[in-house]
Amino acid sequence: MSHDSNSGLVGERITITADGSLLIDNVDCTVAQGSLSALVGPNGAGKSTLLRALTAVQAPASGSVHFDGNNLLGMPRRQRARLAAFVEQDSTTDSSLSVDMVVQLGRLPHQSLWEADSAESTAIVSASLATVEMTAFRDREFQSLSGGEKQRVMLARALAQQPQLLALDEPTNHLDIAAQLAVLELLAHLRTTGVTILAALHDLSLAASYCDHIIVLSHGRVVAAGATETVLTEALIAEVYGVRASILTNPVTGKPVIGFSPA
């Protein structure tokens, strides 16, 4: 199995175990450079685990991860964090950090420990906040924000890392529908700036509406991967999720919408 070593994110033979059980079983996957891809699958399929391995946040037991030819698992941590950013599913803190300080955390891989914030750094923080339309909130306490606002701030934090690869774990989790759409619109916009994006998503309709590629994970294995329309079939959904699915078309957007009924 060989891949073009210069095309986007390439994970090979990734195996992850925890406490003796196999979470990810010898997975190969690719995410095309500059694409917006979705990682889908039932709960417990191993989506979060695989995402962390693909951004080298948690090293897998075996396997390799390359992005644009760079060995993410082998390079120095700070250098890797300038290349790849990861946004967790639920970002919670006990600290009373302000929005501004949270976004500044994204500058950590670019700064030495005890240097003052450079003008450039401050500008990047401001730009990141502007991108997610949270500039007005920059002095607010992070904990006081709504779920959708928090998710946007965490996205701004990731952007402040100036990454070329952005991985997000269930970025629409717990958000109301407007906020879910806002986040995905934002990702679609970011994708136009050349950032390669991989998001674990729960909602197949959202994945089908916004993503060019889909990777389907089940029981720690990739069961299908490729262009959205070829991968997301009623048969595959029935096999992986154990439900009957009907793929319809949204009359407004013309994108696929998936309806479910019991198997």
Sequence-ordered list of residues with C-beta below 8 angstroms from that of 247, at least 6 positions apart, any chain: 208, 232, 233, 234, 256, 257, 258
User: Which of 32, 73, 101, 127 touches another protein (CB under 8 A)?
Assistant: 101
Residue 259: name the closest of 232, 228, 225, 227 by CA.
Answer: 232
- Which range, of 66-74, 103-111, 192-200, 210-218, touches another protein by CB under 8 A? 103-111
DSSP conformation class of 118: P
Which residue type does 199 have?
Answer: A
| Residue reference for tokens 């050349």 | 194
| Least distance CB 95 / another protein (angstroms) | 4
CB nearer to another protein: give 65 or 81: 81
Q: Are 9 and 55 in contact (CB under 8 A)?
A: no
Nearest to 30 by CA among 198, 204, 201: 198
Q: Smaller CB distance to another protein: residue 97 or 247?
A: 97
Hey, which residues does 67 pair with through a beta bridge? 9, 70
Q: 């037991």: which residue's tokens?
A: 61
Residue 78 touches another protein, criterion: CB under 8 A = yes
* Type of residue numbered 63: G
Shortest distance in whole angstroms from residue 144 CB to another protein: 9
d(CA 127, CA 250): 34
**Candidate residues 139, 192, 251, 252; the one interacting with another protein per rule CB under 8 A:** 139
Q: How far is CA 24 from the centre of its chain?
A: 18
Site map (CB under 8 A) of another protein, residues 143-172, x = contact: x-----------------x-----------
Is 91 a residue that touches another protein (CB under 8 A)?
Answer: yes
Supply 40's token pair. Answer: 């889908």
Q: Should residue 94 be labelled a site residue for another protein when binding is judged by CB under 8 A? A: yes
Of 93 and 249, CB closest to another protein: 93
- Is 81 among the residues that bind another protein (CB under 8 A)? yes
**Which segment (5-13, 61-69, 90-98, 204-212) binds another protein by CB under 8 A?**
90-98
Using rule CB under 8 A, residue 22 touches another protein: no
Residue selected from 3, 77, 189, 255 as contacting another protein according to rule CB under 8 A = 77
Contact indicator for 71, 65 with CB cutoff of 8 Å: yes
Residue 80 found at the interface with another protein (CB under 8 A): yes
To another protein, the closest distance from the beta carbon of 262 in angstroms equals 36
List CB contacts of 4: < 8 A, sequence separation 6 or more: none
Rule CB under 8 A: which residues touch another protein? 19, 52, 55, 57-58, 76-82, 85-86, 88, 91-98, 101-102, 105-106, 108-109, 111, 113-114, 139, 141, 143, 161
